Amino acid sequence: FPSVPLETDDLILSYVYTDIENDPESGTEITWFKDGAEQGGFANQLTIPSSATSCDEVWYAIITPSDGMDVGESVQTNSVTVCGANTPPVWAEIPPQHILEDSGFDNQLDMVEYVSDGEQAFTQLNFTVDSNSDSINLDAEFSGSVLILSTITENYFTINPIVLGLIVTDGFETVTTLLDVFIDPVNDTPVVEDITAEVNEDGSVSIELTGMDIDGDSLTFSVVDAPINGFYVDGVYTPITDFNGTDSFTYSASDGTDDSNIA
């Protein structure tokens, strides 16, 4: 119904019925209240005619859903004051949000805990993202009342907040708040690649093990499978006496947290 009804407006109730077993609605009860007193003459009606209301009266309804067998939890509508004045929505403080580097679209925050309105039901409020201080690295948009935060740039994190301007409107008043979002780092696994070297029979060759770590962490290297026809010690490969042919060994790197692939 109108959130700020005039004396000439009917009060119209609407709601959405759902049932986890998909049973049809049957026997739902609607109870109307005026100034806190039950109005039995309007039981189970969706509309209160304007002829039944007067200025300064406060109306609301309680809905008890039913499928004909079981009843659900009762829900109270928002209260409306006939001929009343609209008040703007009110933001509560939203704590800074921390999301992980490379977390994609898996970051959601529902505004139901952070916005209240004296006249409008929460479902009647509309939310938008008004500003984004770093839209290159963070995407922010609303789906209904749920703010979806998405990391865009691979391996990007920041110790400084990305500031979002959020707007809520009740159709009459628009109110803005600011939200700080931090993209926190995660450890990236180092990567190693195959190395090829040549050495003369009964000779030796230096082979430096190398790897890459996108975070710039220091790496330590370990031989996983030792050479079959030689020895790799202190960065030097030496084949066994009189051996010629192909030999190999495998190695990996560690950044102290994660181990790399094996090359």
> What pLDDT, on a 0 to 100 scale, did the predictor assign at position 121?
81
**Rg of the chain on CA atoms, in Å:** 33
Residue 117 · residue 149 · CB < 8 Å = no
CB atoms within 10 A of CB 173: 13
Model-level pTM?
0.67
Averaged over successive runs of 10 residues, the pLDDT of the chain (263 residues) comes to: 85 93 94 96 95 93 95 92 90 96 90 91 92 97 96 92 97 95 92 94 94 90 95 95 94 93 94
Q: What CATH code would you report for 90-184?
A: 2.60.40.60
> What pLDDT, on a 0 to 100 scale, did the predictor assign at position 119?
82
> What pLDDT, on a 0 to 100 scale, did the predictor assign at position 1?
67
Q: What is the pLDDT of residues 211-229, one digit of tens each?
A: 999 888 899 999 999 999 9
Q: DSSP assignment of the chain, as one string? A: --SS--TTPPEE-------TT-PPPBS-EEEEEETTEE-GGGTT-SEE-GGG--TT-EEEEEEE-BBSS-B---EEPPPEETT------EEPPPPPEEEETT-TT--EEEGGGTEE-SSS-GGG-EEEEEEETTTTTEEEEEETTEEEEEE-STT---SSPEEEEEEEE-SS-EEEEEEEEEEE--PPPPEE--------TT--EE----EE-TT----EEEEEE--SSEEEETTEEEEPTT--S----EEEEE-SS-B----
